[in-house]
Amino acid sequence: MTVKIKQFLAKKIQIKRRELCEWHLEWSRKAPPPFYCSVDLRDSGHKIVPVDSNLYPGGFNNICPEDLRTAAFIFKTHLDSIMIQKQLRQLKKILILPESHTHNSYYIENIYYLKNILEGAGFETQIGWHTTSGKLPEAPVLLQSFSSKELRAYPLQVMKGLAKAGDFVPDLILLNNDFSHGYPKILDAIEQPILPSHKLGWHSRKKSLHFTYYNQLAAEFADIIKIDPWIIQIDTEEVSPVHFGKEKGTEQVAQAVDRILERTRQAYELRQIHRKPFVFIKNNSGTYGIGIMVAHSSEDLRKMNRRTKNKMSIGKNQTPIESVVIQEGVPTATLVDRLAAEPVIYLVGCQLIGGFLRTNSQKSDEENLNSQGMVFKKLCMSDLRNPEVDSDLDEDLKEEPVLELVYGSIARISALATGLEFSQLNIDRASNEKRN
């Protein structure tokens, strides 16, 4: 694992810790971060950046046991503050509303552990259920996880603004569904608080907006700690509309690929980085690693075969891909058992609660690891807090949590960027309502 860039950043962050705390608090007041999120990071050894941000994170089952225990306290503290902010008379019962499928046993495992965290925090917790068709089952749905753990999910009902699942009437609803298809309108009628907002799913979110805000915040962060902002920024362009299967927008994407490759080549030359640049082309509104490809030249776009065109035309839940981001490719220098790996960091608000390392034996350091063949390795907060073993580690960093300082800081900037996304969506929605 390359340590020099992390040591450099940790030192800079350490020196400006007070100013960064003030900066962070100011932005948190302007645009509060989401209730929870996960951030995929890429650490190339010459830069460290987020490459994805998930507002309704799955994968709680991949967090190490030690962090799962401490997560309950962090959830409790954050929910107590939300209770005060929203002037709730009580917050004792929480309904988790997951994705409405029963076949992904790993996802159900995630829900089981999320439920355990909330119960460990002292909240009575139940699983709700809804369907995209609107037809509710008459009896609770039995869900079985990968390790044969069982959960019962109760049909969501709303009467006069009050949501309940079976006989369970929650004080708050916690979403774990990204609503790629759009959210069920029944959620608009619910008076209980819903976190994170159902209006921020992938039916409305755009990666391009997230990275616009992220790069702006990263520039401010870099100015405070006096570093080259390129180290923590990621060059991103949006192209829309596109439909690769119909050759719609392909040439515009190819031109964007050329622009980013040239800017990256110049950045590498200036900083004496000796490797060939590449780009990721991603669905602008999606997750699960679906709708992603790598390109080393614009010809890769112009010569796409039918299989690749089909892959880049349909996202999660068979949702058409109509907009893409072209993003500077950041290789990963993180290795686990000699396999390319990337850290995924989980946050509640802006508080780190844990994460994991995603590896993939079928992929190289330049490819998308969030794909078939991926394996998850534990990454405990205790791992992040221990300084890396290196004979060249500065003496005044020996007791510092180098990885937590660096990875945590980048992940928090991404969380703040998501808060700005929500603020912008609220502004746009209010403007549209005024016009109508």
Q: Do residues 413 and 217 touch, judged by C-beta distance below 8 A? A: yes
Single out the residue of 147, 137, 138 nearest to residue 61, CA to CA. Answer: 147
Integer Cα distance of 46 and 62 in angstroms: 28
Question: To the nearest whole number, what is the mean pLDDT of the chain?
Answer: 88
Q: Domain ranges for the chain, please list them.
A: 4-59+205-422, 67-203
Question: What are the DSSP calls for 364-423, one per residue?
Answer: -TTS--SSTTEEEEE--HHHHHSPP--TT--GGGTTS-HHHHHHHHHHHHHHHHHHHHHH
pLDDT(433) > 60: no
The residue ranking higher by pLDDT, 403 or 275, is 275
Give 67-203's CATH code, choosing from 3.40.30.10, 3.40.50.11280, 3.90.1150.10, 3.30.930.10: 3.40.50.11280
pLDDT band at 168 (very low <50, low <70, confident <90, very high): very high
Q: Report the DSSP beta bridge partners of residue 125.
A: 94
The pLDDT assigned to 388 comes to: 47
With bands split at pLDDT 50, 70 and 90, how would you rate the model's confidence at 229?
very high
Q: What is the reported pLDDT for 7? A: 87
Judge if the upstream peptide bond of residue 196 is cis by omega within 30 degrees of 0.
yes
**pLDDT tens-digit profile of 62-118?**
999 989 999 999 999 999 999 988 888 899 999 999 998 778 899 999 999 999 999
Residue 398 has pLDDT above 80, yes or no: no
- For residue 288, give both structure tokens: 């699960």
pLDDT surpassing 70 at residue 429: no
Most confident of 38-47, 287-296, 333-342: 38-47
Q: What is the pLDDT confidence band of residue 391, given thresholds at 50, 70 and 90?
A: very low
Q: Is the pLDDT of residue 339 over 60?
A: yes
Quote the pLDDT of residue 118: 98
| Per-residue confidence (pLDDT) for residue 385, from 0 to 100 | 63
Those residues with Cβ within 8 angstroms of residue 59's Cβ, 6 or more apart along the chain or in another chain: 38, 110, 344, 346, 356, 376
Please tell me the predicted confidence (pLDDT) of residue 343: 92
For residue 207, pLDDT beyond 50: yes
**HSE-up (13 A, CA, CB side) for residue 324:** 31
Residues 6+ apart with CB under 8 A from 370: 40, 52, 288, 289, 292, 358
pLDDT tens by residue, 248-276:
889 999 999 999 999 999 999 999 999 99
Considering only the C-alpha atoms of the chain, give the largest distance between any 2 of them, rounded to a whole number of Å.
Answer: 65
Segment 137-160, tens digit of pLDDT:
778 999 999 999 999 999 999 999
